[in-house]
């Protein structure tokens, strides 16, 4: 039998590097996630779901009074879900953003105003090009006052006459929030080119302008 030719050393190195990157990506995608810790004393928490959590970080990071934002998963039945499990749609979680803020510097109502202008409130079980219950829009409230403000805000928007269709964003009690894998955190800062390609290609910016005008941020 004729012997197979030896692979060039460079090709072998490339193959090994590619295999290593694949294993790293697989490990990251299936890594165990951890439950979010309570906020520091004196700070409050708000949790919003509006499709891809990469795109929810920038508008809240820009707000004075917001101390941190964290991408993660909420609303499902499984503890410590991975990104791969959540995106399968089988765990019941949705991608969401946890906002830690100082209520002396910014109000929950102001956070709600920013939230509405960064989602499509007419789409249920999807946002923009991302389809499935894992991308459903929702406001997860942490106490009675947040629920009161969220419901009043939704009612005002519904009755404003701005849209011909009803607002479908659900208001739910916040349960465990699972912090997403590290490579998801601040994705728009770590990978600005890829983020821009995704957010533009997904039609998010175009749709938000249609809904809210140029004041969508």
What amino acid positions are annotated as catalytic residues? 52
71 contact partners, CB below 8 Å, separation of at least 6:
53, 54, 56, 57, 95, 96, 97, 98, 179, 180, 184, 185, 187
Largest CA distance in the chain: 80
* Residue 195 CA from chain centroid, whole number: 13
108 contact partners, CB below 8 Å, separation of at least 6:
44, 46, 145, 146, 149
166 contact partners, CB below 8 Å, separation of at least 6:
122, 158
Given a contact cutoff of 8 angstroms between Cβ atoms, the answer to whether 159 and 149 are in contact is no
Structure tokens at 46: 């708000």
Given a contact cutoff of 8 angstroms between Cβ atoms, the answer to whether 49 and 97 are in contact is yes
What are the distances in angstroms from CA 123 to CA 50, 94, 131, 184? 10, 14, 10, 24
């Amino acid at each position: 039998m004729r012997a197979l030719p030896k692979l060039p050393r460079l090709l072998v190195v490339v193959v090994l590097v590619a295999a290593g990157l694949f294993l790293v990506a697989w490990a990251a995608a299936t890594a165990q996630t951890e439950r979010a810790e309570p906020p520091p004393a004196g700070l409050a928490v708000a949790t919003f779901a509006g499709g891809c959590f990469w795109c929810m970080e920038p508008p809240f990071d820009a707000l004075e009074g917001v101390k941190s934002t964290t991408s993660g998963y909420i609303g499902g039945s499984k503890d410590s879900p991975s990104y791969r499990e959540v995106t399968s749609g089988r765990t019941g979680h949705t991608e969401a953003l946890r906002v830690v803020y100082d209520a002396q510097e910014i109000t929950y109502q102001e956070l709600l105003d920013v939230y509405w202008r960064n989602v499509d409130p007419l789409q249920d079980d999807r946002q923009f090009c991302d389809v499935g219950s894992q991308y459903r829009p929702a406001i997860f409230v942490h106490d009675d006052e947040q629920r009161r403000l969220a419901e009043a805000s939704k009612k005002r928007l519904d009755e404003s006459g701005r849209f011909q269709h009803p607002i479908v964003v659900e208001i739910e009690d916040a349960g465990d929030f699972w912090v997403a894998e590290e490579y998801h955190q601040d994705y728009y800062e770590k990978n600005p080119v890829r983020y821009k390609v995704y957010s533009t290609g997904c039609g998010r910016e175009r749709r938000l302008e249609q809904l809210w005008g140029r004041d969508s941020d």
